[in-house]
């Protein structure tokens, strides 16, 4: 399953990294505490968070996430989009809550 | 770059815009060398948490990286307030972060705990009013 599949199935809006949606999604992680995400997430995870500032990009690069989904209509800061574009990290937004989007991703990963 | 290297990166306190920059650079360097993924992953986490600690609490600091055939040594020294009770600071969840730091998702009291977990050997020393020194050794 790749990021493009998630975008299509979940109606996500792409804010950057549209050319990198072929990244493979092997799991997911939900969290807003950056240290918790650093410690617990895995390479290939799609990260679900409400943090929209630019520091999320470094976490995703270091953990080699498939992409980041911002929840509840949060819009990424301009700097966040710039950094994510530079690093090739897909940045997506949804109106859904973290709970709802994580549940839907889980169902797609474990049909 | 073949087997080893030695380099140094300055980190400026309170500059959250730059948080993660040094760690990402170090990770990219390590990936170019023949180092197992798990070792790179642990070095990246330990460096990231150390970098964020300097930015969150210190005036300035330095991340020194030494890669030899046997290990990766990440040596971090900062100038800052230091830590009065190291045992307490090592506890998961203990934090002195202010609201601004917490709102960004930092300051959850997991940094030093994560660093120790990623290290094969971890040493910490600190002097109040002067600064903190971390030595993180990860075997290759």
- CA A33 to chain B, closest CA, distance in angstroms equals 4
Domain that holds residue B58: 5-139
* Chain A residues with a Cβ under 8 Å from any Cβ in chain B: 32-36, 38-39, 43, 49, 51, 53-59, 61-63, 79, 87
DSSP helix/strand/coil, A54: coil
Superfamily, domain A3-109? HprK N-terminal domain-like (3.40.1390.20)
Residue in A39, A49, A58 closest to B110 by CB: A39
DSSP helix/strand/coil, B63: strand
CA-based nearest residue to B61, from B113, B114, B103, B19: B19
Residues on chain B touching A36 (C-beta within 8 angstroms): 108, 110
pLDDT digits (tens, 9 = 90+) for B79-94: 999 999 999 999 999 9
Distance, in Å, from the CA atom of A65 to the CA atom of A43, rounded to the nearest integer, reads: 5
What's the complex ipTM?
Answer: 0.87
> Which residue ranges make up each domain of chain A?
3-109
Predicted local distance difference test score (pLDDT) of residue B34: 84
Distance between start and end Cα atoms, chain A: 12
Pick from A54-58, A75-79, A95-99, B33-37: least confident:
B33-37
Cβ neighbour number for residue A81 with a 10 Å cutoff: 18
Look up the CATH number of the domain holding residue B40: 3.30.565.10
Q: What is the DSSP letter of A33?
A: -
How much of chain A exceeds pLDDT 90, in percent?
100
Is the CB of A62 less than 8 angstroms away from the CB of B48? yes
Number of domains in chain B: 1
Is the CB of A38 less than 8 angstroms away from the CB of B19? no
């Amino acid at each position: 399953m790749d990021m493009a599949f998630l975008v299509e199935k979940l109606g996500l809006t792409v804010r950057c990294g549209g050319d990198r949606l072929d990244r493979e999604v092997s799991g997911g992680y939900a969290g807003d505490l950056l240290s918790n995400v650093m410690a617990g997430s895995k390479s290939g995870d799609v990260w679900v968070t409400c943090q929209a500032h630019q520091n999320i990009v470094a976490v995703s690069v270091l953990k080699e996430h498939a992409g980041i989904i911002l929840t509840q209509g949060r819009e990424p800061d301009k700097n966040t989009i710039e950094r994510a574009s530079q690093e090739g990290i897909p940045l997506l937004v949804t109106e859904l809550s973290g709970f709802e989007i994580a549940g839907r991703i889980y169902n797609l990963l474990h049909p | 770059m073949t087997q080893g290297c030695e380099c140094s990166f300055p980190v400026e306190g309170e500059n959250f815009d730059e948080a993660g920059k040094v760690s990402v650079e170090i990770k990219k360097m390590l990936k170019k060398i023949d180092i197992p993924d798990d070792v790179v992953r642990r070095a990246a986490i330990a460096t990231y948490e150390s970098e964020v600690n300097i930015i969150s609490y210190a005036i300035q600091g330095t991340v020194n990286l030494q890669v030899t055939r046997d290990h990766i040594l990440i040596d971090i020294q900062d100038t800052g307030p230091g830590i009065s009770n190291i045992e307490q600071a090592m506890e998961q969840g203990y934090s002195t972060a202010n609201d601004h730091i917490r709102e960004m998702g930092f300051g959850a009291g997991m940094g030093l705990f994560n660093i120790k977990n990623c290290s094969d050997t971890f040493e910490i020393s600190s002097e109040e009013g002067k600064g903190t020194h971390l030595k993180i050794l990860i075997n290759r």
